[in-house]
Amino acid sequence: MREMIKYSFLAKIRDFSLVFWPLIFPFVLATAMYFSIGQMEEADFETVRAAVVVKQNAEEDVFSDYLSELEKDDSGLISIQEMSESKAAGALADGEIEGIYYSGDTPVLTVDGSGFPQSILQMILESYLEGKQTLEDIARLHPEGMEAAVRQMADYSYVTEEVSLGGRTTNTTAQFFYALIGMSCLYGCFIGFRSVMELQANLSALAARRCVSPVHRMQWILSETAVSFGIHFVNMLLLLAYMKYILRLEFTGTYAGMLPVICIGSLIGVTMGMFITSIGKMGEGVKIGIMIGVSMTLSFLAGLMNADIKNVVDRNAPLLNRLNPAALISDALYCLNVYDAPERYIQDLVILSVMCVLLLAGTFVIIRRERYDSI
């Protein structure tokens, strides 16, 4: 058994395809996602340009003062120009500004379109209207405190923080990386594929020699599973360390705490590949296509391409993602890093473990019952 494991290991690490897809490709994809999706919250937005039309008979225009103080903010969120009504209308039509504020007792906003800049202008107006009475009182009683009051209103978003019910900070981009780990675990199917290809006599010369040996097929299957799992588990350990300590993604759970998920996830990928490869007598290219299709479909449903997909599936077809290994891996990571739900975490691991046993048993049954007229 030890010699079987040794030579199987040496054969697999020399196969470039077994190194690239389960190890190198997830590293490349994680890095690309980090520099595109992972930096969204730090993205710089262009300054929103707007005009303000002030009433000529306005003695105390609190709204104009509010806009002026807001424009002084270091964030550079908005740029305000005071214009006449006709000039402002022309600038809006020419696309020089995104909106026009009409000051007065109740300021109004006019825009020519919809989008992010217009939403910012509407948010500023709503923020002013909510604190209008307070600003008017400050302007009348303590005008020297107007600048501090406006700055306080402009900074309201920095004193709030989105957290889960368990009290841990949530990040809208985290779902993509949890789903990426799920996909990477399933990519262990390529290693499992190679293992079964070397056990079916009609698929490779090595498998033909193995089939005429006196070694029991269960020993071959267990040794191949052990080697494939060991290689892929190391792959996932390296990927998790890279994402947590090099990319410094928001994994609030400990590295050791996530190891059970990675362990079972690695095994589910390997056994899934072994089971798919053992079915039928299709060629190597067809079976690889099936594995890619299955793993990417499951990853898509787990939220790899669109985080909303997983929520839609959970609401409309909850059983589908309760049987989706990629979604279960992602969900277990959420339970560790965001939710305070140990019962759901254990449930995810139990379902994954049962699936591993069933896939491994199914592989053994299919391979054991195969007979060949000639080898």
> What is the distance between the alpha carbons of residues 327 and 350, in angstroms, rounded to a whole number?
14
CA 123, chain centre distance (Å): 28
**Contact, 166 vs 339, CB < 8 A?**
yes
Query: Dihedral sign, CA of 140, 141, 146, 149?
Result: negative
Query: Cα angle vertex 242, ends 239, 244, to 5°?
Result: 105
Q: How high is the pLDDT of residue 29? A: 93
Pairing of strands 99-102, 48-53: parallel
The amino acid present at 161, given as its one-letter code, is E
Q: How far is CA 311 from the centre of its chain?
A: 13
Radius of gyration for the chain, computed over Cα atoms and rounded to the nearest angstrom: 30
What's the whole-model pTM score? 0.67
What's the Cα-to-Cα distance from 88 to each of 52, 111, 112, rounded to whole Å?
Answer: 8, 11, 12
Q: Which of 185, 189, 194, 183 is nearest to 290 (CA)?
A: 189
Give the pLDDT score at 297: 96
Query: Residue 216 pLDDT more than 90?
Result: no
User: pLDDT tens across 188-204, in order?
Assistant: 999 999 888 877 656 66
pLDDT digits (tens, 9 = 90+) for 92-144: 988 889 999 988 778 889 988 777 788 788 888 887 777 777 766 766 776 66
User: How is residue 352 written in tokens?
Assistant: 């994954």
Amino acid at the residue 201: A
CA–CA distance, 181 with 232 (Å, rounded to integer): 12
State the DSSP code for 243: I
Helix axes 284-301, 325-337, angle to 10 degrees: 40
Asked if 271 contacts 358 with a C-beta cutoff of 8 angstroms, the reply is no
- State the pLDDT at residue 245: 93
Strand order in the sheet with 48-53: 78-82, 48-53, 99-102, 108-111
Return the CATH number of 43-159, one of 1.20.1260, 3.40.190, 3.30.70, 2.60.40: 3.40.190
Contact 156, 131 (CB under 8 A): no
* Residue range(s) in the chain whose domain bears CATH number 3.40.190: 43-159
pLDDT digits (tens, 9 = 90+) for 312-340: 888 889 899 999 999 999 999 988 887 77
Of residues 199, 196, 333, the one with CA closest to residue 263: 333
Which residues sit opposite 50 in a β-bridge? 80, 99
Q: Give the rounded distance of the alpha carbon of 114 from its chain centre.
A: 28
- For the chain, give the percent of residues with pLDDT over 70: 78
In the prediction, which pLDDT does 213 show? Answer: 64
Residue 149 pLDDT class (50, 70, 90 cuts): low
* The token pair that represents 187 in the structure block: 């990519």
Higher pLDDT pick, 103 / 205:
103
